Amino acid sequence: MEKNWWHGKIAYQIYPKSFKDSNNDGIGDLRGIINKLDYLSNLGIDIIWLSPIYQSPFVDNGYDISDYRNIASVFGTMEDFKELLEKAKTQNISIILDLVVNHCSSEHPLFQKALKNPFSEEGSYFYFEKGRDGHAPDNLRSYFGGSVWEKVPGQDNLYYLHYFAKGQPDLNWTNPKLREKIYDMVNFWLKMGVAGFRIDAIMNIVKDTKFPGLPADDSDNLCACNKMTNALVDKTVPLLNELKAHTFDKFNALTVAEAFGVNDKLLPKLYGDEGCFSTLFDFAARQPYELLPGYYAFFKSNINNYRDANFATQKKVLDSGFICPILENHDEPRALSFYFEKEEQTPKTAKALATVFMFLRGLPFIYQGQELGMTNTCFESLDEFNDLLAYDEYKKCINHGLSEKQALAVLNEQSRDHGRTPMLWDDSLHAGFSEHTPWLKIHQDYKKLNVKTQNADDNSVLNTYRKLIALRKDARFVEIFTYGTFEALLENEDRIVAYLRSLNGSTLAIFANFKTEEYQIYHQGLHEIVFSTVKDNTLKDEKLTLAPYSACVCLTNP
Ligand code: NOJ
């Protein structure tokens, strides 16, 4: 595998609306991020991914872009962005942006022109189709509920396609002129000094333009559009290679794809030395939930599922390249709440989980607030949610016979808003995020759960993340953690996560015990604990004793 500049680094995702508000309008902004660069540098972060900062009507919180070359005014100006790039550079931090090119906003000037004349040049940048027998062209269901087709206002029988919200019309990638426009825009940011992109929903860009539909999978007579995407996924590769050749390749950009539903055979074409992206997020542990017909079918995950899914990926990607391990992102509930029962959602558990996460092979992405051990926020009524998906899923719950109380409980497990509540900086009003009431509820525990309090406690989750990141980058170990092999241990042991990372005869072993009682592990060669989340873990005669809900990293003798 060729070495690359981003190997051995640690990435951090910022959701700009919720990171830090500098002008006290209740919404995070770029200057807020600039003001917190020291915090990120001190944590050990090398790469920041910014969720969309472009101009947008914010139907889907910025994933609906109306101007790809300008900054949303709520976030600041282009000058602010350039300052952020520059100041980050002085701290050796690279910035990657979110590339959202499966769709744009219905307020984008090109779509506005297309709506006026769907048969114009601008119309050919989108998908317009005639209805069939008084119905939409096919029966696919959008990711956010309802048909993927919306009637064109003022037209009798003409629809436009939107796999996400109505305000997010899909771009027609079969049109080479549109592709040129996209490549130009990508190069505009790369020339400015952006180090790469996280690439949104990219496996959706190919459609079957006969729009045949699929057998219905629920009582609404529709079928989830991701089933069509998965069926066509191989066909995206030539387009993605073209995108890469015209843009990323020229700048040695880091590209991280959001790619669900990819089969194993396709993986080498998607990432690694020969792939169209640098790397992909590892969604394996969350994948079963993507396949559910709705939140109403939610079932609780657990640490064994997390382990099994991550280990399966680690084994799969061993030779072909790097993957990006994640615990959370802005589309997911908080990891502690997702994998653990209420009484287990403690700082101890957060630290043990952080340890098993941090040393997996790949480029780890930490999501804002994860480093504090944030849990889900308690939403007390439907109107406290912001996400459009929450409203659709609530309706689905009710349609499937759940009571209002049960539907609310489901959202309190599953909603994307759990990842989007403001960052908790201190114990003052609004958690130091803003002096104004924030756009989304502040976590109920902010008085104790915040950066200021955790900074002062050497044993906090935050300081544990700092130590883990420093250990991963320690000159003695960085090559092993970056390029070393992965070997799973004790895979069938309930609530134990254990693996080895080895390179050129040196091995580090990572062990975590999520049982309620102590656990002993004998492993030949174990000889020094280099990190432990608790003081009472001991190693004697190659026998490690792990306290409940604890983890450690050990050196082994060759
Ligand atoms: C994936 C993004 O992560 C999510 O937040 C967004 O709603 C969809 N793509 C549509 O862009």
The CB of 200 under 6 Å from ligand 1? The reply is: yes
Residue 60 in contact with ligand 1 by CB distance below 6 A: yes
- Cα(511)–Cα(281) distance, integer angstroms: 23
The dihedral region occupied by 437, where left means phi > 0, alpha psi between -120 and 50, and beta the remainder, is: beta
Element (H, E) at 304: helix 303-317
Q: What is the per-residue pLDDT across 208-233, written as a single tens digit (0 to 9) for each?
A: 999 999 999 998 999 999 999 999 99
Encode pLDDT of 229-258 as tens digits: 999 999 999 999 999 999 999 999 999 999
pLDDT given for residue 88 in this prediction: 98
Q: Give pLDDT, residue 319.
A: 66
Nearest CA to ligand 1 atom 6: 63
Q: Which two tokens stand for residue 435?
A: 């002096």
Give the C-alpha separation, 356 to 338, whole Å. 16
The count of other CB atoms within 10 Å of the CB of residue 245 is 12
Read off φ and ψ for residue 378, nearest 5 degrees. -90, 110
Q: Is 387 in the pocket of ligand 1 (CB under 6 A)?
A: no
Q: Which of 200, 282, 328, 417 is catalytic?
A: 200
Pocket test for ligand 1, best of 13, 108, 164 (most atoms within 8 A of CB): 164
Residue with the smallest CA separation from ligand 1 atom 3 is 331
Q: Which structural domains are found in the chain, ordered by start?
A: 11-102+176-381+416-464 (3.20.20.80), 109-161 (3.90.400.10), 382-414 (no CATH), 485-556 (2.60.40.1180)
* Catalytic annotation present for 200: yes
φ/ψ of 89, rounded to 5, equals: -60, -40
As a whole number of angstroms, the distance between CA 125 and CA 175 comes to 7
CB distance 54 to ligand 1 below 6 Å: no
500 lines ligand 1 (CB under 6 A): no
Task: Give the C-alpha separation, 230 to 224, whole Å.
Answer: 11
What was the pLDDT predicted at 317? Answer: 83
Atom of ligand 1 nearest to the CA of 389: 7
Burial of 387 (0-12, 13-18, 19+ CB in 10 A): buried
Residues 311, 489: contact at Cβ < 8 Å?
Answer: no
For the record, the structure tokens of 322 come out as: 């790097």
Paired residues of 254 in beta bridges: 196
Residue 63 Cβ inside 6 Å of ligand 1? The answer reads yes
C-alpha–C-alpha distance, residues 533 and 460, integer Å? 10
Structure tokens at 302: 């657990």
**Ligand 1 center to residue 200 CA distance, Å?**
6
Q: Which residues of the chain have pLDDT under 70?
A: 318-320
Phi, psi of 523 (to 5 degrees): -140, 125
- DSSP H helices in 425-484: 451-455, 461-473, 478-483
What lies within 8 Å, CB to CB, of 443 at 6+ separation is 374, 375, 377, 421, 422, 424, 431, 449
Give the tens place of pLDDT for each residue, 303-333: 999 999 999 999 988 666 789 999 999 999 9
From the CB of 164, is ligand 1 less than 6 Å away?
Answer: yes
Find the 547 Cα to ligand 1 centroid distance in Å.
40
| Active-site entry in 60, 150, 258, 371 | 258
CA distance 439 to 385: 10
Ligand 1 center–CA 485 separation, angstroms: 33
| Ligand 1 atom 2 nearest Cα | 200
Q: How far apart are CA 68 and CA 52, in angstroms?
A: 10
In this prediction, what percent of the chain has a pLDDT beyond 70? 99
Q: Distance, CA 175 to ligand 1 centroid (Å)?
A: 23
User: Residue 13: what pLDDT?
Assistant: 98
Beta carbon of 331 within 6 Å of any ligand 1 atom: yes
Rounded-to-integer distance, Cα 309 and Cα 283, Å: 9
Q: Are residues 522 and 515 in contact, defined by beta-carbon separation less than 8 angstroms?
A: no
Start-to-end Cα distance in the chain? 25
CA gap 258, 236 in Å, rounded: 13
Does 201 contact ligand 1 (Cβ within 6 A)?
yes
Q: Is 458 a catalytic residue?
A: no
473 to each of 12, 75, 359, 481, how far by Cα in Å? 15, 33, 10, 8
Residue 276 Cα to ligand 1 middle (Å): 20
CA of 487 to the centre of ligand 1 (A): 33
Question: How is residue 387 written in tokens?
Answer: 């996400």
